Amino acid sequence: MSEHIVSPKVYFTIFGVLMICTFLTVAAAEVDLNAYLPGLNIIVALTIAVFKASLVVLFFMHAKYSPKRTQLVIIASVFWLAIMLFMTMSDYVSRSWT
């Protein structure tokens, strides 16, 4: 049995970090960051969300300790998602260009 067992200590630490990030994302949303740079609010909100999601995938879902082929499936699904978002948005944004 060579499966990796993640200890409760790690789970509690990750939970703590996720709570801090939740607080930060709410706090950041109350501040008008767009005044400094247009769109900064959404960039900050999504960066925190991606960070939180990565922690959940890596530790709660054990991706950090998974075999390489499982990690490949995870990366592939994110990659496909990126293709859809990127290509659709690049079409949408560039339609007004002449």
Contact 54, 74 (CB under 8 A): no
Element holding 51 (H helix, E strand): helix 40-55
36: which 2 tokens?
Answer: 């400094």
Residue 40 binds another protein, judged by CB under 8 A: no
* CA gap 42, 51 in Å, rounded: 14
Q: Out of 36, 64, 84, 97, point to the residue binding another protein (CB under 8 A).
A: 84
Please list, in sequence order, all residues whose beta carbon lies within 8 angstroms of the beta carbon of residue 91, skipping any fewer than 6 positions away. none
Min CB(98)–another protein separation in Å: 19
Give me the residues that bind another protein (CB under 8 A), please.
1-3, 5-8, 11-12, 14-15, 18-19, 22, 25-26, 29-34, 41-42, 45-46, 48-49, 52-53, 56-57, 59-61, 66-67, 69-70, 73-74, 76-78, 80-81, 84-85, 88-89, 92
